[in-house]
Chain A
C-alpha cells in the first residue's frame, strides 16, 4: 500500500525533536484521559437524571 501521501494533519509539518514529541504525546494522552473522565461522569449524571425522571414523572415518557 502506498503510504507516501499520508500526512498526519494535526501535527506540526516540520520535524519534531524527541523532547517535543514526548511533550506532544503527554499532552494528547492527558487530553484523552480528560475526555474519558468527562464521558464517564456525563454518563453517571445522565443515568441518574433518567432514573429520577422515570421515577418522579412517569406520565412524561416514563
Chain B
C-alpha cells in the first residue's frame, strides 16, 4: 500500500506541484527505478576488476576455447559477480542506510525494493551458473557457484558483521575469477591459477584496510567491525604493511617457480616495491598518540588508489608475459 504522501506525489492528477521527497520513494513505494538503478545494484565498478582477473585467467590457460564460449564465460563471471553484489546489497540494506558512502544505493534510497533486489540477484546467480555449465564445463560452473556462495554466505552473512578478519577470509570470494577463467578453458585447476588466487587473496587486506582507515567512522556508525574500528588505526597500519610484504612475496612466486617469464617477474618486482613504499608511507603517516592521522589519511588514500592500479597492471603483465613468452 502506498502511503498518502507518496500517492499524492505520484499521482498525475494529484493537483498542485508536489515535492518528490525521500519519504515518497521509501517504505513500500518503489515506482521509479530506472535501468541505471538495476545496473547500480550489480556494483559495476567492483565487477570490472573481477572480470578482468577472470579474463586473464582464461587468457593464460593452456588450451583453446571458442571465442563465443569464451565471451559467454566472461559474461557469466560478470553477471555472477554483479548478482552476488545485488544479494549483498539486499542483506546489507540496513547498514547501507547508515553509511554515508552507501546511503544513496538503490535499496536504501528507496528506488528498488529489497525483495526485488533479492529476486534479481538470485535469478542472475542461478542463470549465470547454469549458462556457464552449458557453455564451458561443470568445474567452472561449480567454482562460479562457489564464489557466489562464498561472497553471500561466508562473507556477507557470516563474517562481515562478526569479525575484524572479515575481509581477510572474505577476500577469497574475489579471488575466484582467475580459477574460474582457467577452469573454463582447461576443465581443471593448476598451480598458476592457485597462485593468482593467492595474489588476490593477499592483496585484499591492504586494499580494503587502506579504504577503511579513512572511512572507519562510517563503519563504526554501522557497527561493522572493520580492523580500524576494532583494533585502531595504528594496528591497521602495521597489518597493511605486513600483508603487503606477504603479497609481494606471493606475486614473485610464479616467476620463482618458472611458471612465468621475466616480463611478469620484473613487473611484479617493480610494482611490489611501489606497493611496499605506499604501505611504508601509510605505516609512517604522521599521527597522534591514538594513531589518528594528522594528514587526513593521505597516504592511505594514495595506497588505496595504487592498489587498484597495482592489480590491474600485475595481471596485465601476466598476460603480456604469456603472449611474448
Contact = CB atoms under 8 A, between A and B. Distances in A.
Contact of B34 (A3, A21, A31, A60): A31
Contacts, number: 105
A25 interface: yes
A7 B68 contact: no
Contacts of B108: 6
A40 interface: no
Interface residues of A, number: 34
A53 B22 contact: no
A11 B25 CA distance: 11
A18 B34 contact: no
Contacts of A25: 10, 31-32
Nearest to B23: A3
B110 A6 contact: yes
B19 interface: yes
B22 A10 contact: no
Interface string B44-79: 000000000000000000001110110010010000
Interface string B89-113: 0000000010000011000111100
B256 interface: no
Contacts of B15: 18
B20 A21 contact: yes
Contacts of B66: 53, 57, 60-62
Interface string A26-37: 001001101100
B65 A8 contact: no
B18 interface: yes
B185 to A, nearest CB: 8
B109 A8 contact: yes
B11 A10 contact: no
Contact of A21 (B10, B36, B72, B75): B10
B134 interface: yes
Contact of A6 (B10, B33, B103): B103
B119 to A, nearest CB: 14
B104 A15 contact: no
Contact of A50 (B12, B65, B72, B109): B72
A7 B109 contact: yes
A61 B61 CA distance: 13
B104 A7 contact: yes
Given A21-B10, A50-B69, A61-B66, A16 B20 contact: yes
A60 B135 CA distance: 11
A15 B32 contact: no
B26 interface: yes
A19 interface: yes
Interface of A: 1, 3-11, 14-19, 21-22, 24-25, 28, 31-32, 34-35, 46, 49-50, 52-53, 57, 60-62
15 contacts: A6-B97, A6-B103, A6-B104, A6-B108, A6-B109, A8-B20, A8-B32, A8-B110, A15-B17, A15-B18, A18-B13, A25-B32, A35-B35, A57-B66, A60-B65
